[in-house]
Amino acid sequence: MQRVEVPERVILASEVRKNYVGGTEGAGLNGFDLEVQAGTVVGLLGPNGAGKTTAVRILSTLLAPDSGEATVAGYDVRRQGGEVRRRIGLVGQYAAVDEIITGRQNLVLFGRLNHLSRPAAVRRADELLERFALTAAADQAAAKYSGGMRRRLDLAASLIVAPPVLFVDEPTTGLDPAARIEVWSAVRDLVDGGTTVLLTTQYLEEADRLADRISMLKAGKVVAEGTPDELKAALGADWLDVVLLDPADVPRVRALVEPLAAGELRVDDLRVSIPVRDRTRTLVDVATSLREAMIEPEDITLRRPTLDEVFLHLTAEEVAA
Amino acid sequence: MTNRFGWALADGWTIARRDLTHWRMQPGPVIFKWFFPVLMLLMFGALLGGAMERPEGQSYYELLVPGIFALAMLFGLESTMLAITEDAAKGVTDRFRSLPISSTAVVLGRCIADLLDSVVTLTVLVVTGLVLGWRWHGTFAAALAAFGLLLLLRFALLWVGTFIGLVVKNAQSVAMVQVLVWPIGFLSSAFVATSTMPSWLGAIAQWNPLSLTATAARSLFENPDTAPASWIGDHAIGAAVIGPLLLTALFLPLAATRFRKLSR
């Protein structure tokens, strides 16, 4: 399949602002910046109302920004919307397929609207049905599809002309775990095919698994950006998790490890998390003092911070500032 | 014909065919929709018709059938509105808007599909009317012109429906509009001559676009006229052309602006 040439920096946004009058339709953007390299997956991560969907709607030309610059595949989203639309696919938050007609009819319809001839649209529909494992359900009304199947059909509908850039807005919101894995593997296949993907999600796990780089969005602004590892490293300390068997031991362990910690301890039920700077040394020290106190932990692990912690940390910083 | 315009037509037809596929895939609702005006015709003709004062030897259907034709065009507004809100709510409109097609094509698709829908509605009604004893007494060409005027009214109401559909956004408001359609339908000459109403109400009813089209259709079918001797009675056909055109002139730009405002 032929690929349209796109510039190295496929998606560029700078100082994009958008205010909703009334504010009921979603969160606005408040100086949003983004840079996406060709062939990568960038995750836009943030809680509900952070402005993720607004950002995607602006970049896919569905919404006009109040101010700021944004280009996709080298074209201005405001002035060259038609050129942008020729180069993007959009998978919305809610599966935007026609539920009354069949999966195949949907794909042929969108193929025709992408100006494929009828035979070409039918051929392409069959290819995509096969690729997204929908061949068996091809002639059923889309309303009868499961959530995961519908989302896959939606993905397929966005890929009819193999757009170089794909926007995927919360692809797994409301899906059960099995369907989520189906959708993840479909997205990963796309990336292997060279598509640049901008993915929004409120699940840290999803961003961690799928994205090469992550932009964390809060109140319409990117508050942190980097690879998942960079973001985790930005928190500084690694963590040593001690999981205990007996709740009664928790206060004792706290007191024991407090002097060894590089920062404030976190206790979650039976787990005591200790921020560490000198990884091996602290591990040995903690293990030794537990042993001396005759406490046998269920588990003891050294780990990088999770994206959850990065996110909480960044959010807390904002509040403090 | 520029290439751009050619694509808008082709894409519009593709989108309209989606509706035709809906009819085939889910025939229940659409068949109900087509037969609902028939139900109205029977309810008013058979149940209430006996109580209607008519000149000796003249069936109430002579007056009622063209009125129901016009009423069916008004009810069409609801299906336009429903289709627009449903597509917007389900994200299908966004999908269309993210495709390299013009917004004219999206609107044109709705327009073609709804007019085809109305042609079927009218056909079903005509057959039922003929079975019940209604006839047109004028020429076939005049009858065709009457159907043309009815479809013109439907065309005008399409923009009203599109506009409301883009404004209301949720099912409750749609239901409210569906209820409000009824008094508008009754405040017209669709069922009775406006001269039988209190004079101020009759005057309003006379100017209802529904009455303008119903009166013009009756005059073209050479069915008994219900319009009192008045300016409208004398210029029924002209009024039935100008009325819908004015509605279109008002609501087409409103609907187009609203459609563009989806990006704001």
For strands A299-303 and A67-72, give the pairing: unpaired
pLDDT band of B206, cuts 50, 70, 90: confident
Q: Which of A111, A116, A105 is nearest to A141 (CA)?
A: A105
pLDDT value of residue A155: 86
Residue B197, phi-psi category: left (phi > 0), alpha (psi -120 to 50), beta (remainder): beta
CA–CA distance, B260 with A162 (Å, rounded to integer):
27
CA–CA distance, A301 with B114 (Å, rounded to integer):
65
Q: H or E element: which one contains B243?
A: helix B236-261
Report CA Rg, chain A. 23
Greatest CA span in chain A, whole angstroms?
77
pLDDT band of A72, cuts 50, 70, 90: very high
pLDDT value of residue A310: 74
In this structure, which amino acid lies at residue B16? A
Report CA Rg, chain B. 19
Torsion of CA B251, B164, B6, A107, to 10 degrees: 180
A243 to chain B, minimum CA–CA distance in Å? 46
Cβ contact (<8 Å) for A113 and B96?
yes
CA–CA distance, B264 with B254 (Å, rounded to integer):
15
DSSP state of A230: H
Q: Which of B18, B100, B101 comes nearest A98 by C-beta?
A: B18
pLDDT tens digits, A101-133: 999 999 999 999 989 999 999 999 999 999 888
pLDDT value of residue A135: 93
Cβ contact (<8 Å) for B99 and A102?
no
Length in residues, chain B: 264
Q: Which of B25, B101, B262 comes nearest A100 by C-beta?
A: B25
pLDDT tens digits, A18-53: 987 655 455 789 999 999 999 899 999 888 888 888
CA–CA distance, A50 with A61 (Å, rounded to integer):
19
Query: What are the chain B neighbours of A112 within 8 Å (beta carbons)?
Result: 11, 14
- Pick the residue of A87, A94, A100, A155 with the most B CBs within 10 A to test the interface with B by mutation: A100
Cβ contact (<8 Å) for B25 and A101?
yes
Q: Which residues of B lie closer than 8 Å to A, measured between beta carbons?
A: 7, 11, 14-15, 18, 21-22, 25-26, 90-92, 94-101, 262-264
B253 to chain A, minimum CA–CA distance in Å? 20
pTM for the model stands at 0.78
CB A240 within 8 A of CB A274: yes
Cβ contact (<8 Å) for B18 and A63?
no
